Amino acid sequence: MRELDQRTEDKKAEIDSLAAAYIESVKNMLPEERVEHLRKIQSAYSKCKEYSDDKVQLAMQTYEMVDKHIRRLDADLARFEADLKDKLEGSDFETPGSRSLKRTKSERQKKFSWSRQENI
């Protein structure tokens, strides 16, 4: 991308110098020389446009590639979240014959107070 940008900038500088030279000496040129000089300027503009089109094409390809990866990551994340949700809902945090893994604040406080009484 930088190389394309540099080539474009170089070509623009060339166009500027060709245009300045044309303006400076247009009064002293023969009609054939004027036409030839204008053709050089037009050719330089065409090449500059080609470089710019290449830059746009490269930017679009890069955008599409990044967008594709983002969509894939979003799909992976959604699948991971769904799997995690299924696992959490499936486990219910309680199994028959075992205590709940989720405890309320009051249950934790009761246990703490019982354990303190046992230590006294």
Evaluate whether residue 7 is within a structural domain.
Answer: yes
Average pLDDT over residues 25-30: 88
In a domain, 95, yes or no: no
pTM assigned to the model: 0.56
- Domain count of the chain? 1
97 in a structural domain: no
Domain-embedded: residue 120: no
Smallest CA-to-CA distance from 22 within 47, 45, 4 is with 45
Instruction: Tell me which amino acid residue 85 is.
Output: K
Domain range for residue 43?
2-65
Local confidence band at 37 (pLDDT 50, 70, 90 cut-offs)? very high
82/80 Cα distance (integer angstroms): 5
User: Does residue 46 sit within a domain?
Assistant: yes
Residue 91 domain-assigned? no
Is 58 within a domain?
yes
Q: Which two tokens stand for residue 90?
A: 């499936």
Which pLDDT band, with edges at 50, 70 and 90, does 81 fall under?
A: very high
pLDDT exceeds cutoff 70 at 105: no
105 to 19, 98, 110: CA distances (angstroms): 81, 19, 9
Contact, 52 vs 11, CB < 8 A?
no
d(CA 53, CA 4): 10
Contact 39, 68 (CB under 8 A): no
